[in-house]
Amino acid sequence: MVNKPSAAALTQIRPSGPLRTWATRHASNCIAALGRLARQPFASLMTILVIAITLALPAAMHLLIKNADSISGSWESALDFSAYLNNDVTVDNARSLASIIEQRADVASVTLVSAEQGLAEFKAQSGFGSALDHLESNPLPHTLVVRPSGSNTEETMRLLHEELANLPETDLVQIDTEWVQRFHAILETLQRAIAMGAALLGAAIIVIIGNTIRLDIQNRREEIEVTKLIGASNAFVRRPFLYSGLWYGLGGGLLALALVGYGLFALKEPIARLAGLYNSGFQAISLSISESATIVGVGVLLGLVGSWIAAARHMRRIEPK
Amino acid sequence: MIQIEDVYKRFPGGQEALKGLTLSVDKGEMVFVTGHSGAGKSTLLRLIALIERPTSGQVIVDGQNTRRVSRRRIPAYRRQLGMVFQDHKLLYDRPVFDNVALPLIIAGAGHRDAVRKVRAALDQVGLLDKERQSPETLSSGEQQRVGIARAIVTRPKLLIADEPTGNLDPDLSLEVMRIFRRFNEVGVTLLIASHDIALIDQLGCRRIALEDGALQKFEEEDPVAEYVERYETDQEQSRW
């Protein structure tokens, strides 16, 4: 017969036993590692500062791109179409066409610029004033300035453009999106470049933390030897160093957030002044919560990876003699 | 408890520390290994602690052939032994209590259990009142007793000690040996490397004499002459 533990016996087993020991061990390691960092505040702070700067660089660049993107996004929705009508379209026809187009859902407003208004504006702005008086007839067509509604996507904008161009009354419909597209392409290229730079900087962080941990391991060589001699496993001797790496990464990540936050705060005034000069209500966007969490998370991860590599490389070589 | 069968140990330099050594230690014995420096005492203990592996031959400890203990299993293997060293090998950045508790922490003992066992071990070596002190503030004899407390805190069946009284004066040496004797009385097997013949004879334990990596022939030796000779070589060495 198989001996099964009775229900009473099962309840007597404390479920917290080994798990609790494990948790206590990790907690004490974690706090001890923080204590060691605190005992050498200057050296620890230097390491954390280097990590923070390395993390803050790509974060700040990302923020810059994000802001540039949001500005150009607001430009795009404010782009107007200029629909030049055929020369045989009269002002009245143009006016009724304008009111028809205005009823479309994807159009916010339509303004009629008659040939006379156009010529007057051109005269006033071009500086050719008196020369234009010699023209026998007005060469300009009537023009409809069509402002699309804000809800348009790139696709509906294209459709609107097409439909306006296909109207029998229109001669030419122009929209200057090219430079916006170029600007986006530049931003995208920059974004890629930053991602690559960030990957290199991440590798640099691993090296920085790995090197710090390597020195730490060398300084505590004797302690490692003794603990191995009395039966400590590699995992046991490695653990405190992994926690050191974790603290470096966490400290670096949080300080990076503070650096970026401070930078943004310092730029707030000049940005508001600049936006004011352009009559824009633009406000700089800061890092979102998930982006902030990513920066701190990346810091912690790189800290762990760096210390793990250093510990794995150097710990094996330290054997009791 | 320990079987050493035809063990050779050759170091990379070509020098042979053990040459066909065969010996055994029974459960519950307290045995001394004597011999000149270089006779192979330390090498023997290092083979038992798996700090070194034999070039050939078998080392069997408590039924386990050390040859079959893989690298990964060495820590678990060492945790069954208690080890005492001539230079104590204490960690000077933490108090006595933490030093003694280290094997229990490594073994993953619970907090309350650990406190109880550490106190018991410190009590056995008479240092219960020094648990909060740093090892640096203790005398050499007290430091060695801390080392012993650390070795026995996990209640190992086998305790090995390499020259545990090497740095101690005769009174302290006797005190340390008495502590070992008490462990032996409660069933711990002890293997102690020492050259302090006078002290060993006082205790009346079995003595295994090594010479040039093998057992010494007892009937040929003259204990007094040997002692004098050993004294002289030790003097010579301490000069270095």
Taking the C-alpha atoms of A293, A296, A298 and A300 in order, what is their torsion angle to the nearest 10 degrees? -130
Q: Within a domain: residue B21?
A: yes
**Comparing C-alpha atoms, which of A151, A146, A10, A4 is closest to residue A82?**
A146
Which of B 154-193 lie inside 8 A of A, CB atoms? none
CA B83 – CA B94 distance, rounded (Å): 19
**A298 and A215 in one domain?**
yes
Q: Is A320 on the interface with B (CB under 8 A)?
A: yes
* The pair of three-digit structure tokens given for residue A4, joined into one six-digit string: 């099964």
Q: Is A231 on the interface with B (CB under 8 A)?
A: yes
Query: Closest residue of A to B110, CA-based?
Result: A21
What is the ipTM for the molecules in this complex? Answer: 0.81
**A210 and A165 in one domain?**
no
**A185 and A170 in one domain?**
no
Q: Do A230 and B79 touch (CB under 8 A)?
A: yes
pLDDT in tens, A111-126: 888 888 888 877 777 7
Q: Within a domain: residue B211?
A: yes
Please report, in tens digits, the pLDDT of each residue of chain A (321 residues total). Answer: 444 444 444 334 344 466 777 777 788 888 888 888 888 889 899 999 999 999 999 999 988 888 887 777 666 555 778 888 888 888 888 888 888 888 888 888 888 888 888 888 777 777 777 777 777 777 788 888 888 876 777 778 788 888 888 888 888 888 766 677 788 888 889 889 999 999 999 999 999 999 999 998 988 888 899 999 988 888 888 998 999 999 999 999 999 999 999 999 998 888 888 888 876 777 778 888 999 999 999 999 999 999 999 998 888 788 777
Nearest to B103 among A17, A20, A230 (CB): A230
The domain total for chain B is 1
Q: Do B106 and A18 touch (CB under 8 A)?
A: no
Which of these three, A175, A197, A212, is where a domain ends?
Answer: A175
For residue A299, give its domain range. 28-74+181-315
* Mean of pLDDT over chain B: 85
CA A40 – CA A32 distance, rounded (Å): 13
Q: Within a domain: residue A22?
A: no
**A171 and A187 in one domain?**
no
pLDDT in tens, B191-211: 999 888 888 888 878 888 888
**A266 and A214 in one domain?**
yes
For residue A223, which residues of chain B lie inside 8 Å, CB to CB?
A: 91, 93
CA A304 – CA A312 distance, rounded (Å): 12
* The pair of three-digit structure tokens given for residue A188, joined into one six-digit string: 């995208």
* The pair of three-digit structure tokens given for residue A284, joined into one six-digit string: 């700089």
**A289 and A199 in one domain?**
yes
Q: Within a domain: residue A5?
A: no
Q: Residue A317: its pLDDT value, please?
A: 80
Give the sheet arrangement for strand B16-25, strand by strand.
B16-25, B2-10, B56-61, B64-65
Q: Could you tell me where the beta strands, DSSP code E, fall in A151-250? A: 170-174
Which of these three, A115, A144, A175, is where a domain ends?
Answer: A175
Phi, psi of A88 (to 5 degrees): -85, 0
* The pair of three-digit structure tokens given for residue B223, joined into one six-digit string: 């204990």
**Comparing C-alpha atoms, which of A93, A131, A128 is closest to residue A114?**
A93
Give the sheet arrangement for strand B189-193, strand by strand.
B81-84, B158-162, B189-193, B30-34, B206-211, B214-215
Q: Do A230 and B83 touch (CB under 8 A)?
A: yes
Q: Within a domain: residue B75?
A: no
Q: Residue A108: its pLDDT value, please?
A: 81
Which of these three, A123, A149, A175, is where a domain ends?
Answer: A175
Q: Within a domain: residue A224?
A: yes
For residue A228, which residues of chain B lie inside 8 Å, CB to CB?
A: 75
Nearest to B102 among A17, A230, A234 (CB): A230
For residue B22, give its domain range. 1-69+195-240
For residue B115, which residues of chain A lie inside 8 Å, CB to CB?
A: none
Q: Within a domain: residue B41?
A: yes
Gyration radius of chain B over CA positions: 18
* The pair of three-digit structure tokens given for residue B159, joined into one six-digit string: 């305790």
Q: Within a domain: residue B122?
A: no
Nearest to A231 among B75, B89, B90 (CB): B75
Q: Residue A5: its pLDDT value, please?
A: 43
Query: Closest residue of B to A223, CA-based?
Result: B91
pLDDT in tens, B97-123: 999 999 988 888 777 888 999 999 999
CA B161 – CA A40 distance, rounded (Å): 37
Å between B237 CA and nearest CA of chain A: 20
First to last CA, chain A: 52
Q: Within a domain: residue A14?
A: no
Q: Is the pLDDT of residue B176 over 80?
A: yes
The domain total for chain A is 2
**A261 and A115 in one domain?**
no
Q: Is B105 on the interface with A (CB under 8 A)?
A: yes
How, if at all, do strands A81-85 and A143-148 pair? antiparallel
Indicate which CATH number applies to the domain containing B45.
3.40.50.300
**A296 and A219 in one domain?**
yes
**Comparing C-alpha atoms, which of B206, B239, B207 is closest to residue B226?**
B207
Q: Is B106 on the interface with A (CB under 8 A)?
A: yes
Q: Which of A226, A228, A230 is most worth mutating to test chain B (most B CB atoms within 10 A of its CB)? A: A230
Q: Within a domain: residue A67?
A: yes
Q: Is the pLDDT of residue B235 over 70?
A: no
**A274 and A131 in one domain?**
no
